[in-house]
Structure 1
Amino acid sequence: MQTKIITIGLSPTWDKTIEVAGIEWGEHKIVSCQRIVPAGKALNISRALARMGIGSIAAGLWGADDWDKMQKAVADLKKFAQIKFTKAIGATRENITVVDTAKKRNIHLRSKSALADAKSLSDLNRNLRTIAGKDSICIFAGAMPGGKLLLGTISLIETAKRKQAKIIVDSSGGEFKKIVSHGGLFVIKPNVEELSELIGRKIENEKEAIADAAKKLLNKTEFVLVSRGENGAMLIGKDLIISTEYCGKKYAVCNTVGCGDYLLAGFVAGLCKTGNLKIALQKAVHTAAMRAFGR
């Protein structure tokens, strides 16, 4: 049976990118280019999978105020991605990236999401029960609501577990740590800084240090996929340590936003196609590199 890939995001966003050829504080400039797309880590993963010709179900929350706008904006994805968001009261947040094309630098401005509440999480849980199953990989990606609402997030993950889905989590902060502590996961995808947060001490971006740290989490997850930026990625499991770097032709880095999402998408794509962890990791690193190069 074909694997059903479900991406689930609780903090979606509109990603607005503004390009300008050189700018300093206090200046007024006409922008060279600007674009806005529906995003968030989960939807980015579905988009990356679609670019590889792989289908997915894009689930999670989306704001009612801009629901119709989102439906039009994702029209190009619908050939490969089924859009099954749960409507939440309010507007989806907007994140802004300003790119200085002359000096090859950028700045990211992020706002908080307010879509998750007791009702929207309950509605999403009900919807998830109808789409998740033992042939599914459920990817929970992006920021997770904290406080009492974290229980609603954990309930979503437990629902997917009861449906015998494999669970992948890509998040950060204290919420990520609490989710991991509940265990029963298939893959978690921290970067080196997030891995440090998970184990409570600073980890250097070195293979041995990363492997030793990741092994401490293998009682909670089958695999730890660690993104290492320009150093590639590592996959650590029981009796398994694989490290891969990008060795192909290098181009100028255009934008690093979303590279981690493309890394995870590449890994899942490679795993579903071949079942080979080494090939999956190679696919992951290549996909992330092409994203960074704008290819």
Structure 2
Amino acid sequence: MIYTITFNPSLDYIMHVDCFEEGETNRSKQEEIYPGGKGFNVSTILSRLNLETTALGFVAGFTGEEIVKELKERGFDCDLCQLESGLSRINVKMKGAKETEINGSGPDIPQEKLDELFEKLDYLKENDTLVLAGSIPSSLPDDIYEQIMKKLDQQGIKIIVDATNDLLKKVLPYHPFLIKPNHRELEELFNVKIENKEDLIHYARKLQEQGAINVLVSLGKDGAILVSEDTHVYYCAGAKGKLLNSVGSGDSMVAGFIAGYLKDKKYDEALKLGSACGGATAFSEDLAEVSMIQEVYKQLQVEEL
């Protein structure tokens, strides 16, 4: 089973505007509402690839009820902790000539609800996969990822971490199966300017030295590089297509990587399917459907560097 955790989910309210003017009344020409959260995005793509997945996390209030309703329609299991007060946040995203976002802060999560989540983690068993992705609400301890990895250490569970800066650094001693910094995040981690593939590989290997098992560096339209646990380095160039959506592409890449790896334990296939899922979401209005993933997959070639 593949589990994901979304600590601070949202309803993403997408508004399409021709030209946003600050201080003026702006009118949207089209709106959509989606459940937001990196873990939910990963579970959605996994489900579309016919893999069993369970989404864990926290929801609150009427917005939380709508999140659960939307997720159930996507067809995967949800085992979410229901908070007794507050509201799951609403994130407003205005799409026009430029994209503008206003993200809510989300509800406070009390200790008893965090304990409830940890009880759910007791159901994970050897060979399961857990995805920890995204930011942590201010009401939770900033070492929550570490606490989870410490709890599950030595149980044979593959843990994937998609996080940034100190949140990522602190989990490396617990040997996450996969981490996925992008080019900019890799620069921030080491306070350097990365100019070429050789630099990318050098600093990805440094993350391995610090504890990561596999390091996947996403390069946006330029593709992705994987430094795998068996010392191989793979590169997949970016797919060609029209960028329609900047939300969820990285999460889709994580889901595709998991699906590709679980298929036959081959890292080149994991990188290829991960890249296909990430590109397919970038070329879609929302998270990619299987037909788009298959179309993009046909474009891609993986080479060993």
* TM-score, normalized by the shorter chain, greater than 0.5: yes
1:52 and 1:34 map into 2 onto residues whose CA distance is: 27
1:99 to 85, 88, 95: 95
Which of 81, 89, 104 is the matching residue for 1:111?
104
Structure 2: how far apart are the matches of 1:293 and 1:96?
21
Which runs of structure 2 are paired with 1:1-295 in the superposition (5 Å)? 4-78=1-75, 81-89=76-84, 90-100=86-96, 103=97, 105-130=98-123, 132-145=124-137, 149-180=141-172, 182-198=173-189, 200-204=190-194, 206-219=196-209, 220-238=211-229, 239-247=231-239, 250-294=240-284, 295=292
Mapped contact 1:203–1:210 kept (Cα < 8 A): no
Distance 1:29 1:95 in 2: 17
**What are the Cα deviations for residues 54-84 of structure 1, in whole angstroms up to 9, with x where unaligned?**
2211112222553432222222222xx1111
- Distance in 2 between residues matched to 1:277 and 1:108, nearest whole Å: 35
Distance in 2 separating the partners of 1:26 and 1:145: 30
Question: In 1, Cα distance between the equivalents of 2:24 and 2:61?
Answer: 36
Task: Report the TM-score when normalising by structure 1.
Answer: 0.88
Shift of 1:87: 2.1
Runs of 4+ more than 6 Å apart: none
Matches of 1:271 and 1:21, distance apart in 2: 42
Are the equivalent residues in 1 in contact too, given 2:178–2:213 (CA < 8 A)?
yes
**Equivalent pairs, count:** 282
Q: Is the 8 A contact 2:63 2:89 kept in 1?
A: no
**5+ residue gaps in structure 1?**
none
Deviations 1:98-134 (A, max 9, x none): 111xx3x31222233444443322211111112x111
Aligned-pair CA distance for 1:147? 8.8
RMSD of aligned C-alpha atoms? 2.1
> What amino acid does structure 2 have at the position aligned with 1:125?
F
Deviations, residues 273-295 of structure 1 (Å, cap 9, x unaligned) = 23211011011111111111115
Q: Distance in 1 between matches of 2:72 and 2:216?
A: 31
Distance in 1 (CA, whole Å) between partners of 2:224 and 2:218 is 5
Equivalent residue of 1:14, what SS? strand
Give the distance between the partners of 1:277 and 1:113, measured in 2 at CA: 37
Give the letter for the 1:94 counterpart. I
Q: Secondary structure at the match of 2:122?
A: helix
Unaligned residue ranges in structure 2 (runs of 5+): 285-291, 293-305
How much has 1:256 moved relative to structure 2?
Answer: 1.0
